[in-house]
Amino acid sequence: MTTYDFPQDLCDAQLALHQTRAAYEQYARTLPWSAEPMPGWEGDKQLHSDYRPSKPDSPGYTEDQHRELAAFRARFLELGITVSTHPFWATLERGAVVAGRMALKHTHEAAATDEAV
């Protein structure tokens, strides 16, 4: 397996991207199921079970929630551009860029394993 000597600022940007994604997912779980106010619904009973799918009424997102989601999207875009346009990628051979990008996504896992040992 090829190892890469990623610059620290590239590793930091990738880690920030992972952390931002995790924070976004945690935040999204607290939101109503619909961004716009929508009435709840109840579906038909599922065959061979007592499960009946349903959703409660959704009040929609507040302005603060819309702003928070926009801030997450802006941060994703900023970090994604930072990672994907970093000058380090120009130092790799053409065929190695994709493998390098895939390896970068897991550098924080390797660092955590090294610290645990």
pLDDT in tens, 28-71: 999 999 999 999 999 998 888 989 999 999 999 999 999 999 99
**Tokens encoding 2:** 């090829």
pLDDT of residue 62: 98
Residue 27 has pLDDT above 90, yes or no: yes
Q: What six digits make up the tokens of 38?
A: 């929508």
Residue 2 amino acid letter: T
Per-residue pLDDT for 115 more than 70? no
Please say if the pLDDT value at position 94 is more than 90. no
* pLDDT score recorded for residue 2: 79
User: Which residues neighbour 56 within 8 Å (Cβ) at sequence distance 6 or greater?
Assistant: 33, 40
pTM of the entire structure? 0.82
> Nearest-CA neighbor of 91 among 13, 22, 6?
6
Q: What is the pLDDT of residue 116?
A: 59
Using an 8 Å Cβ cutoff, are 19 and 79 in contact? no
Q: Which residue's structure tokens are 């000058």?
A: 87
